[in-house]
Structure 1
Amino acid sequence: MTDSASAESEFPAEMLHDASDALDPLADAEEGVVKNRAKVGSARPSSLLYTYGPGAIMDLPGFAVMPAGLDDWAPIWKRREHIPSILEPRLLNVVRLHLGPQVDALRPYPWQPKQGAMSKEGADLGIPARVFPQWFRCTGCDYLGPLPRFSYTNTHPFRPDLAQFTHKSCPGRGRQRPGATSRKRESPAVPAQHLLTCTNGHLDEFPYTLWVHRGAKCPKAELPDLKMRDANVGKSVGSTILCASCGATRGMAEAQGAVGRDKLPPKCRGRHPHLGAFDSECGARPTLIMMGASNLWFASTQSIIVMPRTDAEEKEALAARLRVELGVGQVQQFGSQVEVIRALATAKNIDMSGVTDDDLITAIADVLTPADSEEVRQEKLAAWDPVELLVPEWRYLQKPALFPQQQNSSGLMVTEMQRGSGLYPKISRVVAVNQMKKVNAVLGFTRLDEMDRVNDLTSRLVKLTRNGKPSWVPATEDRGEGVFLQLDLDAVTTWENTILGTSLWEAHRAAHRNNFRRRFSETAKQVDPDTRLPAPRYWLLHTLSHILIREMAMSCGYGAASLSERIYGWTSTQQREAAAGLLICTTASDSEGTLGGLVALSEPTRLQGLVVSALRRAARCSSDPVCAMRTPSDPEDFLHGAACHCCSFASETSCEKANRFLDRRFLLNLPTVTGDSVPGFFGNSDVL
């Protein structure tokens, strides 16, 4: 990742080695005198964070790769003169809470420097990756086999998209005519799509040989040749596996669903292809999953908006910098010699101006303070709520007196805006976020279920390193702008109390319970659904956010997919006060951030017209009356009401809840299927 908005991290891969071998991304595969290049593709930091991180499958033009675990990134960092890090103690503390106290840094994704005339291939690369799946099907003759049976070609230095595996001496399909000369050719190969996964996050190749022989060995050959033939449309579903040695056949359709699961191996092998390793034990049962399935990989990330630090936070940041740059061992060795620590810190380019000896002694003591025991950490983790990351941001936005004193070094600049006379009165405040910096960190990933669908988070989170204890995690740092709207808290509380007693809310609650009961994952049944159902105010803010994103996209110069939401919607507890606000923002990896088109919409005259227009559009949908009256009833378990792609849904890059928990009836007075009146927060659209 670089300072350019078009920065892309590169993917090298050791092509001809099995995923169980140690990965050396800088040792390019060679075939004869033709050198194969290591680079096979590229991706933006944002896609690596949310879509194609370690453990995910990236489908390239010729084959698929899986970004490797953090252990295999070590050769990349060793070639750097300086290992960059993102210093944000508030987020680092959350990562340490989840993954352990050994995590001492957030690092950006490594990027491959642009190659110049004198550059050397392989001198420095980006993110290492493994070829996965490693079973391929020949497109010329349908031969199905493991990776070593195919030839790899990647010789063009500036065309990694041409890299591919081929089947040499492919005989083609059909029978050879008598007397005809045998003509062999070289046909491209594509990855076999079928995989096995389990709730513990393991992923493995599908056992095609065992499958076609129904768990037995081939009677004709020890290592039989297989073929994968696509089914003719209308005759059957899925592909058919054929053993060329004994003639056995079996369709892949038999492996689908709950019935097909009983025909699969009874025990998962515990394979982690991104680590090139196997877990010693896994008691989960495997299930069939396709290579491009949406539930193959769910990123587990946490993010914060960087705010001006207090004095205590500055001292904590200094301690974090000493821990990263000097290491605990060096700080412990020279901890009693303040001047030595100061000199070592200065040599590491740590700004020590303004740092008193007392501040430095406090930071040293912080570095050397023993970490919490594992039992204490688990107790804190069990009590932790993701809302805790949002509370400091909400509290800062409640103090306009601090805005003129903001420290530009934090990357946050906000301005309290005047409310337009025509702005709906229940929108109490408008804050223009002129500049902001957002830091996102990777905790790991899950398979089959998204993070908020499980309560045994530590056991379901797939590890990023072979020992499960990373010393750093990948992170991104984005800059941008936004608009913050706050609703009248008293009005929201009054409205929410009314909604809680309606039949519509009971229908949503029942659908949410059904949704959890019917989850495919074995662990979802351990979740109390009511603890995961957001309060009505969240539905209100979430729906308002979506209709504003759709409206703002037509005026701000950014596409709707470039806008994202951050919802501050929770009821009061002993630990925090109630909140009801939303931030619509856009961020980019460019060092200069974005261009100001979104924050300009916070001007009073533009915003009030935009809000009125958005609410009026939300009052009608091209799918009405079906959409307006949509209410889940048993056995339905969808997690939205009067909302659809025509009126309220947003892209997956914009929505923080995957288009769940939306209902236009919470915004406006719309009819229900039973005819009951549900009070919309903003009333009737015809009086806006």
Structure 2
Amino acid sequence: MTDLLPEFGEDMLHDEHEMLDPLGDAEEGAVKNRAKVGSARPSSLLYTYGPGAIMDLPNFSVMPAGLDDWETIWKRRDHVPSIVEPRLLKVVRVLRGNQIDALRPFPWQPKRMGMSSEGSDLGIPGRVFPQWFRCTACDYLGPLPRFDYTNTHPFRPDLAQFAHKNCPGRGGNVKRKSGSPAVPAQHLLTCTNGHLDEFPYSLWVHRGKKCPKAELPDLKMKDANVGKSVGSVIVCASCGQTRGMAEAQGSIGRDKLPQKCRGRHPHLNAFDSGCDARPALIMMGASNLWFASTQSIIVMPRTDAEEKEALGDQLRVAIGVERVAKYADDLETLRDVADGKLDLSEVDDATLAGAVADALAPADSEEERQEKLAAWDPVDLLVPEWRYLQKPSLFPQQQNSSGLMVTEMPRNPDLHERISRVVAVNKMKKINAVLGFTRLDEMDRVNDLVGRLVKLTRNGKPTWVPATEDRGEGIFLQLDLDTVATWEQSILSTSLWDAHRSAHRRNFERRFSETAKNVDPDLRLPAPRYWLLHTFAHSLIREMAMSSGYGAASLTERIYGWASTPQREAAAGLLICTTASDSEGTLGGLVALSDPSKMHDLVVRALRRAARCSSDPVCATRTPSDPEDFLHGAACHCCSFASETSCEKANRFLDRRFLLNLPTATDETVPGFFGSTDAF
């Protein structure tokens, strides 16, 4: 678990360049409240609660800070660890700039053993946000300094809370000296440029003007779920004016909000100047408040050139480019300088000299990086994995540092003929890197892509990004490529595919970002083979969860499905895997299912189960038609949908009719890739 260490002060206004140090007072021995307020797994910090997201704790919420503030935590260590993976680092540099020199793990706080205090100075720095609170007893609404904070129990960070001291209650006669619990006010403002700000409650209730009775009026937030008013009502205790929050909702309500964004980044404690986007109302727990942008790879055996590049990256991070250049011609001194930071005992001089040259090689120019960025495709990360899996002759050569161990399994003669290969992934290592995040729209909903990512540092140019290293196991299944290509051509001419393509266009036009007006929706629509592999993967995940010992939410998919292009050969395969970032790996229950007899029975059960749904015939014949814009066909929660931790496309692009022959609402026959379940 990684601990959360929030920062808050009397005024909450820090200098723009001041580093956040939640543990600073603890070092001086003058702290009264403890820094730790909660913990989270690295995977949740990667995909759900990373920098800029809002993490809801039992009594208030915090926002993990930007990467500038993580430096204060890392400086408590003589050596900052890094995750070495040249292939992923190269992609991160293309997407986020050549100044990126490392992938770093989260500041890990190991579980304490006995009286040990090891790791107590590590954790994720964060800021309390939102910083407007509402008293649960008297409805008082005010900023953070008007409430008292308590967090004194050493083993109960969940008891940390803000309280309204001397709260009079709703009757107004009895003051509670101990204070009444306060909770965050839920309303916020955001924009398409990723800024996030507090809702201007005082300006709202006074309709853009100042209170005529007081310079800083007291406000109350009252629930009004009766009559015509829905939601909360803001009341000025000084002048008596009231206004419901329901007026701020929707497109009409947006016209009543401030027309100019202040450009606030709470995770950076900074403001951008000149934001031209219009603010919109958003609730604290809204699902579109924070979308992570990540890239991940499965670590493959490295070539000699990649090993040299990896060592060059390690030299840059461990001792710095300046010292590498200083001792480039004196390798013995270089080894002494790196001692304790990097183990070079088994590296010969020739390899070290090559790594030094690689570390000192000039980075691509900005023009070259932009050219690579324009040509980059996310599929490029999958291509090396697919190509390695096509070379069984390399599998026995497992003597490498990649952590990958795969075995070509005998194919059961009774296994469906359209499944050409089964590969057991006995051990694997997966590296996941955080590129940034967006608000309001996911990355596939914007046209400027990387330019839409919210800054992770105050200057917008981080020199490293957070990453996790997961270990686990999996099973790879490959479909017959020629059969897939023939089947795909038959699907492209069906009315079902026309309906899916039209629905995707409607969905994109209605839900696209305000910044994505020049995107061709058809370029974002996966090909039929992807729908086939995706639906098959979900069916297998459901069935594997019943036999592997792992919950369905812990199994994830990795789809290799693309047609042939001049840059890459065609692919049609899927990997079902399970990984863990906080242990040495998994227990082998999943890879055991690759046994030929078990795999045959599992595939048969999965396809037979996919042929039936408790929502049939409604589910089996579901086809989007104008004005419908859903991105699935014969698929629903009863038969095909998986948890969001398992699916790489958020349960979009699924249709059981691509998998099997199912009845349709028309006379048209849609050929399922595996045919009828009567055949197996």
TM-score under structure 1 length normalisation: 0.95
For 2:70, the equivalent position in structure 1 comes to 73
Q: Distance in 1 between matches of 2:396 and 2:110?
A: 40
- 1:271 counterpart = 2:264: yes
Alpha-carbon deviations, 1:446-472, whole Å to 9, x = none?
A: 111111222211221011110111111
After alignment, is 40-49 or 344-353 more displaced?
Answer: 344-353
Superposed displacement of residue 339, structure 1: 3.2
Partner in structure 1 of residue 332 of structure 2: 339
| Structure-1 separation of matches of 2:618 and 2:12 | 50
Which shifted more, 631-640 or 57-66?
631-640
Residues 494-515 of structure 1, C-alpha deviations (whole Å, 9 max, x = no match): 0000101111111111111111
Alpha-carbon displacement from aligned partner over 1:248-290 (angstroms, at most 9, x marks no partner):
1111111111111111111111100000000112111110110
Aligned length: 675
The equivalences for 1:103-182 within 5 A come to 103-114=100-111, 124-174=121-171, 176=173
In the alignment, the residues of structure 2 paired with residue 672 and residue 321 of structure 1 have an alpha-carbon distance, to the nearest angstrom, of: 58
Match for 1:608 among 581, 587, 600?
600
Structure 1 contact 28–36 (Cα < 8 Å) conserved: no
What amino acid sits opposite 2:262 in the alignment? Answer: R
Checking the alignment, whether the CA contact within 8 Å between 2:331 and 2:349 is kept in structure 1 is no
Distance 2:118 2:597 in 1: 56
- Match of 1:557, SS? coil
Counterpart CA distance in 2 for 1:428 and 1:184 is 73
Any idea what the Cα deviations from partners look like across 1:224-254, whole Å, max 9, x if unmatched?
Answer: 1111011225643221111111111111111
**Residues 558-601 of structure 1 deviation map (CA, whole Å, 9 limit, x = unaligned):** 00000000000011111100000000000012443111100000
Give the deviation of 1:33 after TM superposition.
Answer: 8.8
Matching residue within 278, 285, 307 for 1:285 = 278
Paired-residue identity, %: 79
Amino acid at match of 2:549: G
User: How many Å separate the matches in 2 of 1:577 and 1:492?
Assistant: 14
Contact 1:199 1:522 in 2 (8 A): yes
Instruction: Give the alignment's Cα RMSD to 1 decimal.
Output: 1.9
Aligned counterpart, 1:410: 402
Paired position in structure 2 for 1:247: 240
Match of 1:624 in 2: 616
| Structure 2 residue matching 1:312: 3-state secondary structure | helix
Distance 2:476 2:642 in 1: 18
- Which of 319, 323, 330 is equivalent to 2:323? 330
CA contact (8 A) 2:398 2:405 kept: yes
Is 1:678 matched up with 2:646?
Answer: no
Instruction: Decide which moves more: 156-165 or 523-532.
Output: 523-532
Rounded Cα–Cα distance in structure 2 between residues aligned with 1:182 and 1:476: 49
Q: Which residue identity does 2:637 align to in structure 1?
A: H
Q: CA contact under 8 A between 2:447 and 2:517: conserved in structure 1? A: no
Q: 2:475 aligns with which of 483, 489, 502?
A: 483
Aligned to 1:82: 79
Aligned residues of 2:108 and 2:119 also touching (Cα < 8 A): no
Which residue number corresponds to residue 4 of structure 2?
11
Could you list the runs of 5+ residues in structure 1 that have no partner in the other structure? 1-7
Amino acid at match of 2:225: N
The residue correspondences of 1:523-672 to structure 2 (distance < 5 A) are 523-672=515-664
Instruction: Give SS of 1:170's match.
Output: coil
Q: Distance in 2 between matches of 1:642 and 1:441?
A: 34
The CA distance in 2 between the partners of 1:434 and 1:464, in whole Å, is: 36
Residue 15 of structure 1 and its aligned partner are, at CA, apart by: 2.8
Q: Which AA in structure 2 matches 1:641?
A: G
Correspondence for 1:350 = 343
Alignment partner, residue 511 of structure 1: 503
Q: Determine whether 1:91 maps to 2:88.
A: yes
Preserved contact between residue 302 and residue 443 of structure 1 (Cα < 8 Å): yes
Preserved contact between residue 563 and residue 584 of structure 1 (Cα < 8 Å): yes
Confirm or deny: 8 A CA contact 1:548 1:614 kept in the other structure: yes
1:389 correspondence with 2:381: yes
**Could you say what secondary structure the match of 2:511 adopts?**
coil
Q: What is the DSSP-based 3-state SS (H/G/I as helix, E as strand, rest coil) of the residue aligned with 1:436?
A: strand
User: Which residue of structure 1 aligns with residue 211 of structure 2?
Assistant: 218
Aligned equivalents of 1:121, 1:611: Cα separation in 2 = 48
User: Match for 1:101 among 94, 98, 103?
Assistant: 98
> Would you say 1:458 and 2:458 are equivalent positions?
no
Distance change in 2, residues 1:183/1:523 (3 Å): closer
Q: Is the 8 A contact 2:25 2:31 kept in 1?
A: no
Deviation by residue 1:193-212 (Cα, 9 ceiling, x = unmatched): 00011111110000111111
Aligned to 2:439: 447
Query: Could you say which residue in structure 2 is the equivalent of 1:236?
Result: 229
Residue by residue over 1:379-425, the C-alpha shift from the partner in whole angstroms, topping out at 9 and shown as x without a partner, is: 21111001111000000000000000122421100000011121100
Q: CA deviation at 1:113?
A: 4.6
How many Å apart are 1:355 and its aligned residue? 2.8
Q: Distance in 1 between matches of 2:12 and 2:359?
A: 38
Give the Å deviation of 1:686. 2.0
Q: How does 1:290-329 map to 2 (within 5 A)?
A: 290-329=283-322
Q: Tell me if structure 2 keeps the 8 A contact 1:299–1:445.
A: yes
Mapped contact 1:171–1:184 kept (Cα < 8 A): no
Quote the offset at 1:34 in angstroms. 7.8
Q: 1:183 to 1:195 in 2, by over 3 A?
A: closer
What CA distance in whole angstroms lies between the structure 2 residues aligned with 1:214 and 1:482? 58
Q: Which has the higher mean CA deviation after the structures are superposed, 230-239 or 83-92?
A: 230-239
Instruction: Name whichever of 421-430 and 399-408 sits farther off.
Output: 399-408
Aligned match of 1:362: 354
Partners in 2 of 1:115 and 1:498 — Cα distance? 60
Asked if the contact 2:221–2:234 (Cα under 8 Å) also holds between the matched residues in 1, the reply is: yes
Alignment of 1:429 with 2:421, yes or no, is yes
Aligned residues of 2:478 and 2:572 also touching (Cα < 8 A): yes
Q: Are the equivalent residues in 2 in contact too, given 1:519–1:525 (CA < 8 A)?
A: no
SS at match of 1:396: helix
What is the CA–CA distance in structure 2 between the aligned matches of 1:121 and 1:113, rounded to whole Å? 7
1:119-157 C-alpha deviation (Å, 9 max, x unpaired) = 679961311010000000000000000000000000001
Against the structure 1 CA distance between its residues 527 and 420, is the aligned structure 2 distance closer, same or farther, given a 3 Å change threshold?
Answer: same
What CA distance in whole angstroms lies between the structure 2 residues aligned with 1:417 and 1:123? Answer: 46
CA distance in 1, matches of 2:560, 2:30: 60
> 1:175 offset after TM fit, Å?
5.7
Counterpart of 2:144, as a letter, is: L
Letter paired with 1:134: Q
For residues 19-74 of structure 1, give each alpha carbon's deviation from its aligned partner in whole angstroms, at most 9, with x where no partner exists.
542422113599x9981101010001111111011000000001000000011111
Task: Summarize the Cα distance change of 1:168–1:590 in structure 2 as closer, same or farther, 3 Å threshold.
Answer: closer
What is the CA distance between 1:16 and its match in structure 2?
2.6
| 3-state DSSP of counterpart to 2:368 | helix
Aligned to 1:206: 199
- Cα pair 1:20 1:273 within 8 Å, conserved: no
Give the direction of change, closer, same or farther, for the CA distance of 1:33–1:53 in structure 2 (3 Å limit).
closer
Counterpart Cα distance in 2 of 1:330 and 1:415: 43
Distance 2:667 2:446 in 1: 36
In terms of mean alpha carbon deviation, does 659-668 or 591-600 score higher? 591-600
Equivalent residue for 1:5? Answer: none
Instruction: State the shift of 1:220 in Å.
Output: 0.8
Question: What is the identity, as a one-letter code, of the residue corresponding to 2:434?
Answer: V
1:634 is aligned with what amino acid?
D
Contact persistence 2:133–2:143 (CA under 8 A): yes
Are the equivalent residues in 1 in contact too, given 2:445–2:513 (CA < 8 A)?
no
1:599 partner amino acid: V
Which of 35, 40, 43 does residue 43 from structure 1 map onto? 40
